[in-house]
C-alpha cells in the first residue's frame, strides 16, 4: 500500500515537472563549456541562492556544479515527516564518519551532509531559526564590518523568506510576529500545521514554570529567549519541504537561459589557469567516470560546498596550512593555516520518559495501517500528521545564572553566549514514542577540524567535531541537563508521564539528599551525546589583514584572487540556532556584495 502510493505520486510529479526544467546530468549536454562569468561549486543551501540571484542579470552566465543527484520527485525529500529517512547512508548523503571522538567514549558518528541539489536544506529537519540579534552583532564586531550586524542582516532574512499559511490552514493570530517575517521572498516558511496530543501538555508545563520557561511570541525576532506554544516555524510550504532547490531553483528560475545547472559533477580542485594569476579554473569529474573536465570562470569561482567539503577542496587546491600541504605533497598556492580549523558543532542529548500515546512517530513506524493512512492523506492534499516537521515547540534558554556553578563557568570561560539576550541551550520536546526532551548546547567552547586523509587526499576527509574536548562544554552540558530535568518536574507530567527511562533514571536516583551526582550526568553525556550536524567555522570570516581566518568580510579568500566562499563554513562563531536561516541570510547578502563589485 505504502509503496504503491509512493510510486503513483512520483509518476504524477514527474509528468508535471518534466516539461520546463533544464537540469543537466552530462557535461556534454551543456550548450557550451565556456563563457561563464561565475562558477558556483556546490548546489546546496548557499549555492542555490547565489545561482538564482546572480542570474537575475540576464547578461551574467552562471554554471552551478553539484556533486549529488537531483532532489526532484524524491518522496523522502518532500514529505516533512520523512526527513529522518533522507540521511544517513542514502544517495542524498555524503556518508561521512567522524574520527574517534575522545570526549565521548571514543565513539564515532555518521556525519550527515546533503549530497543532492539543495544540499543540507534538502535533507535537514526544517526548523527555521535565525539566532539572536547578538549573534550578528558579535559577527560584525569580530569581522570588523558593520554590514553583518543584525540590523543590516534582517532585510536578507526577509528577502529569503516567504511566510505562508500552515498546512492545516489554521488561524495564526497570536502565534508569531508578522512584523519580523518576509512575505515576498523565495523560500517557504510556515508554522506547524498539525497538533499532537503532547502539545497541550508542553504548554501547560510552560505555564506552570513560566518564570523559567516563558512564552516567546516569535523566536525569530532577534530576541529568541523563551518557548513557543506549539507553533514552531519550519521551512515547509503547502505541507511539503521547501529547500534551496525547490525554491531558488524552481522551474521559473531554472528556465533562465543564463543559468546552467550540472548535477553528478564532483569538483576536485580549483586553480589559476596562469601560474600566479587569479583562480579561474574548476576541475571536476562526473559520476562513474575517471576523465576530468576543466571549466573556466571569467569573473569568479564561488565555493559553496559546505563546512566539510569547502576546506577539502581548498586544501586539495593548495590553499591551506603550508606545513600540512608539504606533508601531503600538494603544491602550495597560498599559506592559510586556518583552513579546516575551528570546526564547531552543536552537541545534543535526549532524556526520555515512558508514555503510551498513539499519535507519535513510533506509532507510525510500527503501525503500518496508521502510516499508510497518514501518507494517503499527505498524497491527497499534503495535510495531516506527515505535513509536520521535527517538533511543534522550540525553546531558546539561558542557564540558571543565579547558580554558583554557572557563575563559576562564566568566571573561567566568560559567558560563551554572544550577549545577555542570547541563549545557551535549545530545548525541545520530541514526539518520539516515549516522551523525549532534547537539549542542544548552542555555545560550544570545543573546536574540531577537517583535514585531508594522508592515505587518500582526494577521498573523504578526517572530520573531528571535538565534542567535550574543552572542559567548559562538560560543565555547560551538566547545567543543560539540570534545565531539562527542571522542565520535566512540572506538575503536569506527574499525571501524564511514566517513569524516566534509561540513564535519566540513574541521574535522578543519584540524588540521595545532597543533590544530583554530576559524575552520573557526565557519564550519561559521554555515552549518549549525539550531533545535530550543524558543522560551521572551517573557513572563518575575519577582519581584513587579520593573521587568522580564511575569508574577509566580503567573503573573498584571503590573499587569493577570484575566489570566494559562501556557506556555514564562514561563521567564526557558530550561531546559537539551527543553521539554515543564518546561511540563507549570508548567501543573500553575499549575492549583493558580489553584484556590487562589478
Ligand X SMILES: *[C@@H]1O[C@H](CO)[C@@H](O)[C@H](O)[C@H]1NC(C)=O
Ligand Y SMILES: Cc1cc2nc3c(=O)[nH]c(=O)nc-3n(C[C@H](O)[C@H](O)[C@H](O)COP(=O)(O)OP(=O)(O)OC[C@H]3O[C@@H](n4cnc5c(N)ncnc54)[C@H](O)[C@@H]3O)c2cc1C
Which residues contact ligand X (rule: CB under 6 A)? 89-91, 93-95, 102, 105-106, 115, 212, 328-329, 337-338, 341-342, 354-356, 358, 367, 369-370, 373, 376-377, 380-381, 383, 400, 402-403, 454, 486, 498, 548, 572
Range 58-77, binding ligand Y (CB under 6 A): 65-68
Least distance (Å) between residue 103 CB and ligand X: 10
Separation CA 591–CA 585 (nearest Å):
10
Q: Which residue reads 544517495 in cell numbers?
A: 91
Least distance (Å) between residue 90 CB and ligand X: 6
φ, ψ for residue 114 (rounded to 5)? -60, 135
DSSP code per residue over 86-102 = T-SSSTTB--EEBPPBG
Note whether 330 and 315 are within 8 A (CB).
yes
- Write each residue from 277 to 316 as x if it is in contact with ligand Y (CB under 6 A), else as -, in one continuous string: ---------------------------xxxx-x---x---
Element (H, E) at 496: helix 491-496
Least distance (Å) between residue 549 CB and ligand X: 6
243 or 479: CB nearest ligand Y: 243
Separation CA 314–CA 312 (nearest Å):
6
Given ligand X, ligand Y, none, residue 356, with its beta carbon under 5 to 8 Å by kind, binds: ligand X
182 or 239: CB nearest ligand X: 239
Given ligand X, ligand Y, none, residue 402, with its beta carbon under 5 to 8 Å by kind, binds: ligand X
Q: For strand 259-262 and strand 265-272, is the pairing parallel, antiparallel, or unpaired? A: unpaired
Which of 101, 120, 132, 438 is in the footprint of ligand Y by CB under 6 A?
120
- The window from 22-30, 136-144, 265-273, 545-553 that contacts ligand Y (CB under 6 A) reads 265-273
Given ligand Y, ligand X, none, residue 567, with its beta carbon under 5 to 8 Å by kind, binds: ligand Y
Separation CA 237–CA 193 (nearest Å):
10
Contacts of 358 (CB under 8 A, 6+ apart): 367, 370
62 or 518: CB nearest ligand Y: 62
Element (H, E) at 189: strand 187-191
Quick check: 41 binds ligand Y (CB under 6 A)?
Answer: yes
Range 557-576, binding ligand Y (CB under 6 A): 567-568
Quick check: 232 binds ligand Y (CB under 6 A)?
Answer: no
Annotated binding site: 116, 267
- Partners of residue 505 on adjacent β-strands: none
Quick check: 119 binds ligand Y (CB under 6 A)?
Answer: yes
Number of H helices, E strands in the chain: 17, 26
Given ligand Y, ligand X, none, residue 266, with its beta carbon under 5 to 8 Å by kind, binds: ligand Y
Provide the b/e sequence for 214-249 (b: ≥16 CB within 10 Å).
Answer: eebebbbbbbbbbbbbbbbbbbbbebbbbbbbbbbb
Given ligand X, ligand Y, none, residue 349, with its beta carbon under 5 to 8 Å by kind, binds: none
Least distance (Å) between residue 265 CB and ligand Y: 6
Cell of 83: 526527513
Least distance (Å) between residue 77 CB and ligand X: 14
Annotated binding site for FAD: 116, 267
Cα distance between the two ends of the chain:
55
DSSP code per residue over 295-313 = EEEEEEEEE-SHHHHHHHH
Residue nearest to ligand Y (CB): 44
Given ligand X, ligand Y, none, residue 104, with its beta carbon under 5 to 8 Å by kind, binds: none
Planar angle of CA 147, 150, 156, nearest 5 degrees: 75
Give, as one character, the DSSP assignment of residue 286: E
Inter-CA distances, 419 with 90, 415, 442, 534, 583, Å: 39, 8, 13, 21, 20
Quick check: 45 binds ligand Y (CB under 6 A)?
Answer: yes
Residues that bind ligand Y (CB under 6 A): 41-47, 65-68, 87, 112-115, 119-121, 123-127, 265-267, 304-307, 309, 313, 533-534, 567-568, 578-581, 583
Amino acid at each position: 500500500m505504502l509503496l504503491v502510493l509512493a510510486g503513483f505520486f512520483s509518476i504524477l510529479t514527474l509528468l508535471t515537472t518534466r516539461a520546463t526544467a533544464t537540469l543537466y546530468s552530462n557535461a556534454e549536454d551543456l550548450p557550451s563549456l565556456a563563457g561563464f562569468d561565475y562558477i558556483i561549486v556546490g548546489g546546496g543551501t548557499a549555492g542555490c541562492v547565489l545561482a538564482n540571484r546572480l542570474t537575475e542579470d540576464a547578461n551574467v552566465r552562471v554554471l552551478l556544479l553539484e556533486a549529488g543527484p537531483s532532489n526532484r520527485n524524491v518522496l523522502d525529500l518532500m514529505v516533512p515527516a520523512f526527513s529522518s529517512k533522507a540521511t544517513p547512508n542514502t544517495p542524498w548523503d555524503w556518508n561521512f564518519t567522524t574520527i574517534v571522538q575522545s570526549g565521548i567514549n571514543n565513539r564515532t558518528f555518521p556525519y550527515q551532509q546533503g549530497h543532492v541539489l539543495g544540499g543540507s536544506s534538502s535533507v535537514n529537519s526544517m526548523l527555521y531559526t535565525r539566532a539572536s540579534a547578538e549573534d550578528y552583532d558579535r559577527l560584525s564586531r569580530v569581522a570588523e564590518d558593520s554590514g553583518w550586524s543584525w540590523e543590516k542582516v534582517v532585510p536578507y532574512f526577509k528577502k529569503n523568506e516567504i511566510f505562508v499559511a500552515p498546512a492545516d490552514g489554521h488561524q495564526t493570530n497570536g502565534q508569531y510576529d508578522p512584523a519580523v517575517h518576509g512575505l515576498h521572498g523565495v523560500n517557504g516558511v510556515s508554522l506547524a500545521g498539525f497538533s499532537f496530543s503532547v502539545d497541550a501538555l508542553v504548554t501547560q508545563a510552560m505555564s506552570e514554570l513560566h518564570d523559567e520557561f516563558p512564552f516567546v511570541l516569535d523566536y525569530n525576532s532577534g530576541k529568541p529567549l523563551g518557548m513557543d506554544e506549539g507553533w514552531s516555524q519550519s521551512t515547509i510550504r503547502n505541507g511539503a519541504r521547501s529547500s534551496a532547490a525547490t525554491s531558488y531553483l524552481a522551474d521559473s528560475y531554472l528556465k533562465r537561459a543564463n543559468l546552467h545547472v550540472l548535477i553528478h559533477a564532483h569538483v576536485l580542485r580549483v586553480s589559476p589557469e596562469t601560474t600566479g594569476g587569479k583562480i579561474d579554473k574548476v576541475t571536476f569529474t562526473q559520476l562513474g567516470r575517471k576523465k576530468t573536465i576543466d571549466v573556466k570562470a571569467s569573473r569568479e569561482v564561488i565555493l559553496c560546498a559546505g563546512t566539510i567539503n569547502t576546506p577539502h577542496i581548498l586544501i586539495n587546491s593548495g590553499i591551506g596550512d603550508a606545513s600540512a600541504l608539504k606533508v601531503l605533497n600538494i603544491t602550495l598556492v597560498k599559506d592559510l593555516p586556518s583552513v579546516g580549523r575551528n570546526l564547531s558543532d552543536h552537541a545534543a542529548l535526549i532524556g526520555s520518559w515512558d508514555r503510551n500515546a498513539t499519535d507519535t512517530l513510533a506509532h507510525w513506524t510500527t503501525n503500518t495501517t496508521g502510516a499508510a493512512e497518514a501518507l494517503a492523506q499527505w498524497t491527497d492534499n499534503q495535510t495531516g500528521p506527515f505535513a509536520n516537521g521535527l517538533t511543534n515547540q522550540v525553546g531558546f534558554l539561558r542557564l540558571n545564572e543565579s547558580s554558583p556553578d554557572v557563575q563559576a563557568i562564566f568566571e573561567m570561560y566568560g559567558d560563551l553566549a554572544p550577549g545577555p539576550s542570547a541563549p545557551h541551550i535549545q530545548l525541545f520536546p520530541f514526539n518520539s514514542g516515549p516522551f523525549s526532551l532534547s537539549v542542544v548546547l548552542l555555545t560550544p567552547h570545543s573546536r574540531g577540524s577537517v583535514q585531508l586523509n594522508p592515505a587518500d587526499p582526494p577521498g573523504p576527509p578526517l572530520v573531528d567535531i571535538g565534542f567535550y574536548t574543552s572542559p567548559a562544554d562538560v560543565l555547560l552540558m551538566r547545567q543543560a541537563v539540570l534545565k531539562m530535568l527542571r522542565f520535566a518536574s512540572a506538575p503536569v507530567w506527574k499525571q501524564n508521564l511514566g517513569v524516566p527511562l534509561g540513564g535519566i533514571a540513574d541521574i535522578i536516583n543519584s540524588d540521595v539528599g545532597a543533590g544530583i551526582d554530576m559524575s552520573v550526568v557526565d557519564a550519561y553525556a559521554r555515552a549518549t551525546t549525539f550531533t545535530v550536524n550543524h558543522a560551521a567555522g572551517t573557513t572563518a570570516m575575519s577582519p581584513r589583514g587579520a593573521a587568522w581566518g580564511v575569508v574577509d568580510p566580503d567573503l573573498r579568500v584571503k590573499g587569493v584572487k577570484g575566489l570566494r566562499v559562501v556557506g556555514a563554513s564562514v561563521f567564526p562563531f557558530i550561531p546559537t540556532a539551527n543553521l539554515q536561516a543564518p546561511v540563507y541570510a549570508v548567501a543573500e547578502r553575499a549575492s549583493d556584495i558580489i553584484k556590487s563589485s562589478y
